[in-house]
């Protein structure tokens, strides 16, 4: 149940940033950044087209460059305001940010096995776990609710996006971790129901 002092939108749209150069290289980004690729820019414009008649007046964005660039492209097309919400930033990948899993296997040989044993509770070395980030997701939803006019669009990331969707839909940890959100995809979430646009 959502506490009464929170103001979570009953209906919202959730987008992941467009494809980045590190997505292509299979590098963990976390709270580091890499630029959108040409395809990522195309994806941002495609989201804007799909939302053209959705009544979005406010775009709440992660402050990370890849999400903010995506948000600005969409907002410019929709004539919407962009509001940076720090809690929408991706999970902090700590020491593993910027690395591929092959590189991680060399420098942190037990990380993959430890993560597999407790994916929800395992924290990236020097970073966050899904469990820790879920509280941040709750705060982000409330912040967006208070800051938004009309039905907001949230532009965020895949991992924190799982926690946002879990909070909105009342999902347990296992169900949340099974969620996927490819770049360029936008979800409409209304109460506990969700559909991909």
Within 8 A by CB and 6+ apart from 121, the residues are 129, 130, 131
Angle, alpha carbons 189-197-57 (nearest 5°): 65
Please provide the DSSP assignment of 84-150 as one string.
Answer: E-GGGSPP--GGGTT--HHHHHHHSTTHHHHHHH-TTTPPPTTS--HHHHHHHHHHHHHHHHHH-SB
Q: How many residues does the chain have?
A: 197
Pairing state between β 153-156 and 58-61: parallel
| CA of residue 69 relative to chain centroid, distance | 14
Q: Which of 7, 10, 17, 95 is catalytic?
A: 17
By the 8 A CB rule, do 194 and 187 touch? yes
Whether 181 sits among the annotated catalytic residues: the reply is: no
CA atoms of 181 and 158, how far apart (whole Å):
6
CA atoms of 151 and 133, how far apart (whole Å):
24
Q: Which of 87, 90, 128, 188 is catalytic?
A: 90
Whether 17 sits among the annotated catalytic residues: the reply is: yes
Which residues belong to the active site? 17, 90
């Amino acid at each position: 149940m959502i506490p009464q002092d929170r103001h979570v939108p009953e209906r919202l749209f959730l987008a992941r940033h467009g494809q980045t150069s590190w997505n292509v290289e299979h590098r963990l980004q976390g709270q580091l950044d890499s630029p959108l690729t040409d395809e990522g820019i195309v994806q941002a414009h495609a989201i804007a087209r799909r939302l053209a008649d959705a009544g979005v007046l406010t775009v709440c964005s992660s402050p990370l460059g890849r999400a903010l660039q995506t948000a600005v492209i969409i907002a410019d097309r929709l004539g919407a305001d962009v509001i940076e919400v720090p809690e929408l930033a991706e999970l902090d990948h700590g020491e593993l940010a910027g690395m591929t899993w092959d590189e991680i296997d060399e420098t942190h040989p037990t990380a993959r096995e430890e993560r597999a044993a407790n994916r929800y509770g395992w924290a990236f070395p020097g970073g966050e776990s899904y469990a820790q980030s879920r509280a941040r997701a709750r705060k982000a939803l409330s912040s967006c609710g208070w800051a938004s006019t009309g039905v907001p669009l949230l532009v965020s990331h895949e991992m924190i996006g799982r926690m946002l969707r879990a909070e909105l839909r009342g999902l347990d940890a296992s169900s949340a971790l099974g969620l996927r959100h490819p770049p360029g995809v936008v979800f409409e979430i209304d109460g506990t129901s969700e559909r991909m646009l």
